[in-house]
Structure 1
């Protein structure tokens, strides 16, 4: 009887072992298949050939400024620059980076303008102005020369009053 039980257990173990090996092979094949589908997106069920978002082309209308070149009383309306030779070169090269008001308020002589332009080229990525540099400097020195002023302008037409203590 012992031998019979032992043989039966041995046969049961062999059957269980065969099932275990078969199950391991099936799990391995399924696992490899899943990994293949996960990492090969062209076969993945989550992949679709349709774009995730719809691409909509929106026509962009660029506003046309009819009065860009408009000048009234010798002053360029958009920038405030005085109309004179070199104005357009100054507008095209200076107002790309900063306001025309900044240019107008910095009244300098030709030497200082030249050193300021050189500084902007060395530190602020200003492009080479080429022949326009001379035209721009001449325009600025002619139309916005340095002023000899004190710390501040003299106060005029002031109504003085006493502070109550």
Structure 2
């Protein structure tokens, strides 16, 4: 009868030892992780580290009407007569890229404006419509695309 009790006592002792070792290893792992995160142990220091950061603010006043190399910087439109009329009327509703990516004749631009007035609630442009059409037809007219350049400096080979 003494053998089974001794076995149970040994099993209980081994269980307590394994739990103790497990807790010990978890504690060591926690300490190591903390050392990896905060190697200076700043949580235990009595004097907190404070740093003063000074941010320099350079106020740059944007010039919304700035033009460089013949291009209106804010919109990308070509600088020409009627530019600000186009900027004020076209970029209220959509990006200037929508205008610059399209190339149309004066009639095409007029039809587009009429379509926007009928379907997109574009206001009546009045006298500005002529200025806008002239600007768009001059600067964003269709470009004639010729054939590509002849290929030069090519080492040709024969197929067998």
Which TM-score bucket, shorter chain as reference? 0.5 to 0.7
Unpaired segments ≥5 residues, structure 2: 1-59, 152-160
* Residue number in structure 2 paired with 1:112: 108
Q: Deviations over 1:16-62 (max 9, x none)?
A: xxxxxxxxxxxxxxxxxxxxxxxxxxxxxxxxxxxxxxxxxxxxxxx
**Which of the pair has more CA radius of gyration?**
1
* Residue number in structure 2 paired with 1:16: none
Structure 1 segments of 4+ aligned residues over 6 angstroms from their partners:
none
Distance 1:78 1:114, change over 3 A: same
Q: 1:121 aligns with which of 106, 117, 124?
A: 117
* Residue number in structure 1 paired with 2:79: 83
Structure 1 residue 154: Cα displacement: 5.6
After superposition, the CA RMSD in angstroms is 2.5
* Residue number in structure 2 paired with 1:147: 143
Q: Deviations over 1:42-83 (max 9, x none)?
A: xxxxxxxxxxxxxxxxxxxxxx96310111111110001111
Distance 1:154 1:99, change over 3 A: farther
Q: Deviations over 1:99-146 (max 9, x none)?
A: 111101111001111111000000000000001111011001111111
Q: 1:131 aligns with which of 107, 127, 145?
A: 127
Distance 1:154 1:98, change over 3 A: farther
C-alpha distance in structure 1 between counterparts of 2:129 and 2:69, whole Å: 26
Unpaired segments ≥5 residues, structure 1: 1-63, 158-165
